[in-house]
Chain A
Amino acid sequence: MAAVHGDAHGHEHDDHHPSGIMRWITTTNHKDIGTMYLWFSFAMFLTGGTLALGIRAELFQPGIQILQPELFNQFTTLHGLIMVFGAIMPAFVGFANWQVPLMIGAPDMAFARMNNWSFWLLIPAATLLVSSFFLPGGAAAGGWTFYPPLSTQGGLGVDFMIFAVHILGASSIMGSINIITTILNMRAPGMTLMKMPMFVWTWLITAYLLVLVMPVLAGTVTMLLTDRHFGTSFFNAAGGGDPVMFQHIFWFFGHPEVYIMILPSFGIVSEVIPTFSRKPLFGYSSMVYATASIAILSCVVWAHHMFTAGMPAVGQLFFMYATMLIAVPTGVKVFNWTATMWRGSMSFETPMLFSIGFIFLFVIGGFSGVICAIVPIDIQVQDTYYVIAHFHYVLVSGSLFALFAGAYYWIPKWTGRMYNETLGKAHFWLSMFFFNLTFFVQHFLGLAGMPRRIPDYNLQFADFNMISSIGAFGFGMTQLLFLYVMINCIRSGEKAPQKPWDGATTLEWTHLPTPAPYHSFEKPPVVQ
């Protein structure tokens, strides 16, 4: 064996790897693993999207038509869990896998074998979640936040969910340790921390947040599990526990989680905007500090999800002020992007359109966030469609639009082929239209008094619900167009040059051929 290995030394590694399914099961290559993460998350996105369409179909008209209330609750619960843990988070990890080594000039991720394991853990977790629909009693139905005592009541589906969350948490922790180690140890010579691309910075900070909060989530679901099966009473008042404690622990994870899903999007947008403005990012160091401030503040605002749970006035005021404060670094980011575009020489390819769409709609979500932070107003809008509108503005037109921007931006480097620009633009404009059709009217529904997570509603909410449902189906169909554009690009797109975007400045465009070879940066590039 040693002799065989000896032979390989001194040569460039070539692209030899097992073919067929074994390539994907055994791979330790960051590009293969990144690709798998992205396909997996897209499959989960379609699954979660199908559940969303079930919800919107039921809500198309007042009355119960398609989903009985119990099944409706399972749909809302699994829609949330699948989209958060199955679609958005793995998609960002997929981007990190592909792009972090390419952007810092590293040959691969630091822990290549663990990387394989982080990905393959997702499959049993997703299987547990999706298969729980077919259990007696069905899937978990207590909302994606699974508050006890309601989640203590559920059947086997809740246990499947708990186990799935555990596995997903383990996968996320491994993934983030890998990312932190890669970024801190494997940067090309000359690339100091303050020369890293913004995408790498945002992922470094996100990974720290993940390592901080995922164990907390694991802890709280374990407590829930022992409450359900082993006679403990962490969340049961009759045994001396407190249901509200669950909410505190859950949201200590849950609020940083919100930023885990948005910080990497800030990173993607901060790469795309300068490229297509042909002008350097304005205020790079303030962007880094703003990202770090958002991450730190995100750890001390969790109880703004619980203003109606009842807490002392001092507690409400602290969490209100801290939450409002997040608007400041977030505002700095928006102003910096605007200043980057100002007096640039802009062109509007699909990645740029999605990035501008991101800023435009994310700011709307940010404003409704500030409004929700104000305790008295939150008392009215908490647990209504207003909140649904708010977090879909930050998660769909926020995280998801940034993911689309990133996919269109980097697909030429990944596949060596260009996507169809006309279809890409159509995907953007249709997404933009249908997204707003779906979610803008939900602000009005919430203000007028429609609670979230209800399968049926008073007639006064009928017209906006119908509009929202039409929008949702349009949005869902539009995403099939995205699938088509991507497959079309991979199979028969035009050959892409090394640097299809003339404004791009990061290492993957300047130092690597297109498509990026299977093994890249075996000799690190020297940065300035």
Chain B
Amino acid sequence: MRSKSAVTLAGVSALALYSSMAVGSKYNLPEPQSVIAKDIYDQHIVLLWICLVIFVGVFGVMFYSVLKHRKSLGYKAANFHHSTAVEIIWTVIPCLILVAMAYPATKTVIAMKDTSSPDMTIKATGYQWMWGYDYLQGEGEGISFYSKLSTPRAQVENKAPKGENYLLEVDNRVVVPVGKKVRIILTANDVIHAWWVPSLGIKQDAIPGFIRDTWFTADKPGIYRGQCAELCGKDHGFMPIVVEVMEASEYSKWVAQQGASAIKTSMHVEN
């Protein structure tokens, strides 16, 4: 009896340790940097716990049975094979659990879909294999550039040591101000791509010939990295997305710089 409870205790603590590991960053979604990402993060944790409890319950019963109801222990088989009451109970309870899961998810879905009244709008266009950005509305309107992988080819071919942001670094970052609602409009030029920044909690396919939109509001200044998430051919793994979130004043400076360099470029063309 004592050894059995010791085994149970060891099992439970192993599971607890394991699940606490799962909340560490390496084993979980990245640290959320927007309201939506936070909702997703929290719902995922709640679901993990619900699943863990059900898992321990079901397999606790099954493995108790596996240990005790063995032919080798001389256990004689019972002959029951039906119980309507039990069947109803284990149909209804999962339904209730699902309703509890669906309620917060529904609220988040509705929030995610609300792209109305943004502070600024940026169009992202997927190309094989880079992203193009056009600032359509709000501060910085008219800014337009391409954003390509900046990791040197030598690193990919193992001829140079790989840097910290290997494959997650670009020549031109998407720069946005902190705390502003940014609407991203997506399309593609050739095949389907997907624009994904995990810590901001957004992923949206970019579909050639069609427009899709999504939004985020970054909580803190910082650099947030993501990747194309829809197979788009040979260099699908080599078209990252880097979003740099700045304080409002810094952002205004960046916009001014972009304007200056844009004018310089156009003068250069005229010359």
Point out residues on A near B: beta carbons under 8 Å.
62-65, 69-70, 73, 141-143, 147, 149-150, 153, 236-238, 242-244, 277-284, 286, 308-310, 312-313, 316-317, 320-321, 324-325, 327-328, 331-332, 334-335, 338-348, 356, 359-360, 363-364, 367, 370-371, 374-377, 379-380, 382-384, 444, 447-449, 451-460
In the assembled complex, the Cα of A342 lies from the Cα of B79 at a distance in Å of: 10
The CB with the most chain B CB atoms within 10 A, among A150, A242, A284, is that of A150
Taking a contact as CB atoms under 8 Å apart, the answer to whether A447 and B51 are in contact is no
Alpha-carbon separation in the docked complex, A370 to B166 (Å): 33
| Cα distance, A379 to B231, chains bound together (Å) | 16
Q: Which of B58, B110, B192, B198 contacts A147 (CB 8 A)?
A: B192
Scan residues 33-92 of chain B and give those whose CB is less than 8 A from a CB of chain A: 36, 39-40, 43-44, 47-48, 51, 54-55, 58-59, 61-62, 65-66, 69-72, 75-83, 86-87, 90-91
Contact of B233 among A150, A341, A367, A459 (CB under 8 A): A150
The 5 A-B pairs of least Cβ separation, nearest first, read A237-B209, A454-B237, A310-B212, A345-B77, A343-B78
| Beta-carbon contact of B55 and A347 below 8 Å | no
Q: A346-B70, A376-B39 are in contact. Are A308 and B203 (CB under 8 A)?
A: yes
Across-interface contacts of B265 in A (CB, < 8 A): none
A308-B203, A347-B70 known; 4 other A-B pairs, CB under 8 Å? Answer: A150-B191, A335-B58, A343-B75, A454-B236
B164 within 8 A of partner (CB): yes
Q: How far is the CB of A471 from chain B (nearest CB, A)?
A: 17
Quote the shortest CB–CB distance from A432 to chain B (angstroms): 14
Per the bound structure, the CA–CA distance linking A442 and B95 in Å amounts to 29
Interchain CB contact under 8 A, B59 and A379: no
Inter-chain contact B158/A73, CB cutoff 8 Å: no
User: B162 to A338, Cβ gap below 8 A?
Assistant: no
A455 to B51, CA, bound (A): 32
Provide the residues of chain A in CB contact with B108, threshold 8 Å. 375-376
Tell whether B29 is near chain A: CB-to-CB under 8 Å.
yes
Q: A343 — nearest CB in chain B belongs to which residue?
A: B78
Does A338 lie within 8 Å of B233, measured CB to CB? Answer: no
Inter-chain contact B237/A380, CB cutoff 8 Å? no
With known contacts A379-B202, A451-B237, A367–B231 Cβ distance under 8 A: no
What CA separation (Å) do A346 and B58 show in the bound complex?
18
Residues 1-19 of B contacting A (Cβ, < 8 Å): none
Judge whether B194 is part of the interface by a CB distance below 8 angstroms. yes
In the bound complex, residues from chain B placing their C-beta under 8 Å from that of A70 are 234
B51's partner among A69, A277, A367 (CB-CB below 8 A) is A367
Q: Which of B184-205 contact A (CB under 8 A)?
A: 190-192, 194, 196, 198, 201-205
Contact in complex: B44, A346 (CB < 8 Å) = no
Which chain B residue shows the least CB distance to A359?
A: B62
In angstroms, Cα B71 to Cα A348, docked, is 9
Q: Tell me if B229 is interfacial: C-beta within 8 Å of chain A.
A: yes
Supposing A356-B66, A456-B167 touch, asked if A347 and B71 sit within 8 A by C-beta, the answer is yes
10 interchain pairs (CB within 8 A)? A64-B157, A150-B231, A242-B209, A327-B94, A335-B58, A341-B62, A343-B78, A367-B55, A376-B39, A447-B29
Q: Which residues in A have their C-beta under 8 angstroms from that of B227?
A: 449, 451, 454
Chain B residues, CB < 8 A from A356: 62, 66
Smallest distance from the beta carbon of A334 to chain B beta carbons, Å?
6
Contacts of A321 in B (CB 8 A): 102
Q: How far is the CA of A69 from the CA of B239 in the complex (A)?
A: 13
How many angstroms from the CA of A82 to the CA of B157 in the assembled complex?
30
What residues of chain B lie closer than 8 Å to A382, measured between beta carbons?
Answer: 203, 229
When distances are taken between beta carbons in the complex, the residues of chain A under 8 Å from B82 are: 282-284
CB distance from A204 to the nearest CB of B (A): 21
Q: How far is the CA of A387 from the CA of B127 in the complex (A)?
A: 25
Residues in B with CB closer than 8 Å to A243 are 192, 207-210
Residue on B with the closest CB to A330? Answer: B94
Q: Which of B40, B72, B102, B190 has a CB less than 8 Å from the CB of A379?
A: B40
Are A380 and B101 within 8 A (Cβ)?
no
CB distance from A61 to the nearest CB of B (A): 8
Selected contact of B95 from candidates A308, A312, A316, A328, CB within 8 Å: A328
Residues in B with CB closer than 8 Å to A347 are 70-72
Which of A63, A347, A348, A384 gathers most chain B CB within 10 Å? A63
- CA of A341 to CA of B36 in the docked complex: distance in angstroms? 44
Report the minimal beta-carbon distance from A349 to chain B, rounded to whole angstroms: 11
Given known contacts A63-B158, A345-B76, A459-B166, is B40 in contact with A377 (CB within 8 Å)?
Answer: yes
**In the complex, are the beta carbons of B71 and A64 less than 8 A apart?**
no
Chain A, residue nearest B193 (CB): A150
A328 with B235: CB separation less than 8 A: no
B234 touches A345 (CB 8 A): no
B179 to chain A: which residues have CB within 8 Å? none
The answer on a CB contact under 8 Å between A324 and B98 is yes
- The answer to whether B36 and A63 have CB atoms under 8 Å apart is no
Interface residue? B248 (CB, 8 A): no
Determine how close the nearest CB of chain A comes to the CB of B250; give it in whole angstroms: 26
Whether A344 contacts B65 in the complex (CB less than 8 A), given A62-B166, A64-B156, A69-B234, comes out as yes
> In angstroms, how far is the closest chain A Cβ from the Cβ of B14?
14
Using CB atoms, name the residue of chain B closest to A277: B77
Task: Pick the contact of B65: A338, A364, A379 (CB < 8 A).
Answer: A338
Complex: how many Å from CA A386 to CA B256? 42
Q: Closest chain B residue to A503 by CB distance? A: B77
Q: A321-B102, A338-B61, A346-B70 are in contact. Are A458 and B231 (CB under 8 A)?
A: no
A374 CB contacts on chain B under 8 angstroms: 43, 47, 101-102, 105
Residue from B30, B59, B65, B164 whose CB has the most chain A CB atoms within 10 Å: B65
Partner of A338, one of B36, B58, B71, B203: B58
- Kindly list chain B residues whose C-beta atoms are within 8 Å of the C-beta of A238: 209
Closest A residue to B92 by CB, please name it.
A328
Nearest CB in chain B to that of A71: its residue: B234
Query: Whole-angstrom distance from the CB of B122 to the nearest CB of chain A?
Result: 17
**A237–B81 touching, CB < 8 Å:** no
- Is B230 in the interface zone, CB < 8 Å from A? yes
Contacts of A359 in B (CB 8 A): 62
B130: interface (CB < 8 Å): no
Asked if A379 and B112 make an inter-chain contact with CB atoms under 8 angstroms apart, the answer reads yes
Smallest CB separation, B249 vs chain A (Å): 30
Taking the closest CB of chain B, its distance from the CB of A289, in whole angstroms, is 10
Whether the Cβ atoms of A242 and B210 lie closer than 8 Å is yes
Task: Please give the distance in Å from B168's CB to the nearest CB on chain A.
Answer: 5
Q: Which residue of A lies closest to B227 (CB)?
A: A451
B109-A310 in contact (CB<8A): no
